[in-house]
Structure 1
């Protein structure tokens, strides 16, 4: 194997562009491993651990872009680097223009004076300042950056509320405002349901289910995952709800959150008034008291179902034939296969799975624990759900929504465990996601099925209007021997049904 490192000095590209470059690098012939990253200390440490020469990296700084490739030959490595550069720089005219055609927010506004929203995607230490600049310019802000302190988040959101503006984030990867998709987003039909979400893939799941079941979506407002936490206190959730309740194109608001602070959730839903509100608050206590006009659910599926029913549409069938398919899968499982493994690309879907599986199976361990005593390494015989989009898994590699290969090693590893009955995969479609995830994951799932391994249960999040097309993706996974479900929640229930050999669990009410 040959390694190659190319450094672009003082060349910043944001994380989305880095991921596009990494995906192109890894798709090049003879490439075993590759990445395009900023040369932060953590990223340099990852490159050294992968065997790249420290001398090549010694002078690199966090302002430098590093393209690193390990391939079968020097020629293949060089060709891959060229491919990666084209993927990142072609639209910008070359690496010398990688900082984008303008160098400040003021320059950008002079070129596009009608702009009303800024997307901030810079290293976390600079993100709050850039967001403040955008607010000063009279813009709403989608703060894509992470590693922003809670103190900065609170200050930004208080200032935005005083100015009558939105600060979506930090770590807000999904939004749709005025039919414009931002970040990782799905193509949904216009409608009267607005989604407000302290959750990324939670927003996508809620919006796509509402779309699939006929209600249509007016807006998707991402809040950042901490908004309904105790410290941030629902600051932007309240502002977003106020704005959407006043919006003539919105007739119902679907509020979504990762496990929230219960007291904050109470305050936010009590403040909502004037239009019907459904709150899908993952994992809230079953006795959570909802005020009049607000419906509260503990899962995304239940929230989306409540929203479409409130719009006068029929309750959708979320488990057509699922119990029968689970029964067939049980017949093929060896008696020692009793464990569930969830390998998720979406953090919110991982949380939802933890709640559902814990209700049915008891303790489920995760790298994103709901309780302090749940964490890795898990004890022998434990059920485990992993959020593979967390930094510990994406260090030096693309997010699994962008590059399905990031999950393949773990998928094969878990499939080889004779105690595993079911492996749950979420496959997220839409803008920013891999153009054909079934082409990468499907053959591996088929290998597992042919070898008599555990059942691979797949949920495809998306719409038919998405570039990948949901039905084509679903068919490909079904043809590979996977059990394909209608919602993410049903995938978890199907897994629990396999583990306990009880097909009726797949149709359990939520």
Structure 2
């Protein structure tokens, strides 16, 4: 093994670009591991944990670019480094188009007077400052960056509120504004269903389910994951509700979030009465009584949220197919008595939550790195136990690494490890399509799926792998092709996040009572 570290002084790349570059660098011949990131203390801490921190890397500053390569001994390291550096070169797009680079938000705003929204993806230490500049230039903001202090988030959202602007984020990964998908959004048809969401993949799931039902999205406003916390107080979700209430293209509103703080939930639900439009509320683990009492429509899951929205605003006869119980029985018949547990390996936090809450309906032996119960919470380094659900997009896994929707390597390794556990009955996985995501999430996972299946077969047992593809026929790659590739590999493919959780729950229910 050979370790090479190169520091490029005063060379800045945004986090979205570096995620993509790191993913591509890790696929180069001869590369065991590639780490391309800015020289922040957080990133240097990750390298230290990996045993890759050198004095040269330690001296890097926030404005320096770090390239760290672990390669095979017999490889030409200089050639590999040249290939990585080539990924950093910005080339002029085909067809004669060109890009213009601006050094400041103010310069970009001045050069583009018709622009009204800025997407910001910079180091969290600088993200608040850049977002403030955009707001001061009368631009709505989508702040992709995370690791922004909560005090800055509150100040930015209060400023935006006072000036009639949207402040989506920080840590906002998905939005669809005026039929344009931003960051991790999906390609869905335009329509009359508006969404305000404090969850990126939750928002994606609702939007693609609406699309699958033949309807479309008017606007999808992201808030960032902390918006419904006690500190932030739901500023952006409340402003989003009001914006959709005033939008003539929106006939019905859907709210999506992981469990909000109780006092904030009460404030948000109070907005329903004045919206003047039907409001469907999907808060994971939320209270039906509180929503109904506020005049809203309670949704028990993401599929239910999309279905109710379509029925209320588009097609009152819309429906979905029920869970196929015969498929459940067929899976159970192939399992050995000692195979009792479900293991969920997810890219999407809300998709992970939805499946986990399904299992919590039948068992308290449910563990996760995003478990609400502290005594059942795992870390990224924890071994699985009982029914385990891991969100690989959580900060514990993405600290210094690309999001698993871009770089699935950690999840692939965990899939193989889970297959070695003879107590595992089902491994559940999501595959998220959309702008910014991996160009072939199923294809890159198929070798690990085949390896997991071989491990189980060599041990004389069946391993059921359940896959859900979040996407539409308009996405690239298209939904049908990804589904067909999974089915050809012997994976049971579910039709929604809600069905994924229900399918795993019913298998677990039957094996624990057998």
TM-score, normalized by length of structure 2?
0.91
Matching residue of 1:431: 435
Instruction: Compare 307-316 and 159-168 and name the one that shifted more.
Output: 307-316
Matching residue of 2:445: 441
Matched, 1:312 2:293: no
How far off its partner does 1:441 sit?
Answer: 1.0
Distance 2:438 2:72 in 1: 25
How far off its partner does 1:108 sit?
Answer: 1.0
Matching residue of 1:480: 489
Matching residue of 1:44: 44
Matching residue of 1:455: 464
Cα 1:50/1:443, change in 2 over 3 Å: same
Matching residue of 2:499: 490
How far off its partner does 1:415 sit?
Answer: 1.1
How far off its partner does 1:293 sit?
Answer: 4.8
How far off its partner does 1:289 sit?
Answer: 3.9
Instruction: Compare 284-293 and 225-234 and name the one that shifted more.
Output: 284-293
Matching residue of 2:378: 376
Offset from partner CA, 1:68-98 (integer Å, 9 cap, x none): 11122464443333333333332379xxxxx
Matching residue of 1:225: 225
Cα 1:249/1:74, change in 2 over 3 Å: farther
Matched, 1:63 2:63: yes
Cα 1:11/1:80, change in 2 over 3 Å: same
Distance 2:53 2:157 in 1: 44
**Runs of at least 5 residues in structure 1 that lack an aligned partner in the other structure:** 94-98, 505-510
How far off its partner does 1:264 sit?
Answer: 1.9
CA contact (8 A) 2:23 2:402 kept: yes
Query: What count of residue pairs does the alignment treat as equivalent?
Result: 498
Instruction: Compare 373-382 and 151-160 and name the one that shifted more.
Output: 373-382
Cα 1:381/1:158, change in 2 over 3 Å: closer
Matching residue of 1:264: 264
Matched, 1:404 2:408: yes
Secondary structure at the aligned position of 2:91 is classed as: helix
How far off its partner does 1:446 sit?
Answer: 2.8
Matched, 1:501 2:503: no
User: 4+ runs of 1 displaced by more than 6 Å?
Assistant: 377-380
CA contact (8 A) 2:468 2:497 kept: yes
Distance 1:226 1:432 in 2: 22
Matching residue of 2:417: 413
CA contact (8 A) 1:340 1:420 kept: yes
Cα 1:12/1:379, change in 2 over 3 Å: closer
Matching residue of 1:329: 331
Distance 1:108 1:381 in 2: 51
CA contact (8 A) 1:429 1:468 kept: yes
How far off its partner does 1:107 sit?
Answer: 1.4
CA contact (8 A) 1:198 1:256 kept: yes
CA contact (8 A) 2:141 2:167 kept: yes
Distance 1:315 1:502 in 2: 34
Distance 1:428 1:36 in 2: 24
How far off its partner does 1:381 sit?
Answer: 5.0
CA contact (8 A) 2:288 2:298 kept: no
Distance 1:300 1:380 in 2: 26
Distance 1:233 1:58 in 2: 39
Distance 1:33 1:187 in 2: 32
Distance 1:502 1:489 in 2: 20
**Runs of at least 5 residues in structure 2 that lack an aligned partner in the other structure:** 94-98
Offset from partner CA, 1:348-370 (integer Å, 9 cap, x none): 21222222211122342111121
Report 1:72-91 matches (<5 A): 72-73=72-73, 75-91=75-91
Distance 1:236 1:114 in 2: 24
Report 1:23-172 matches (<5 A): 23-52=23-52, 54-73=54-73, 75-91=75-91, 101-172=101-172
CA contact (8 A) 1:426 1:459 kept: yes
Report 1:216-295 matches (<5 A): 216-272=216-272, 273-291=275-293, 293-295=295-297
Matching residue of 1:422: 426
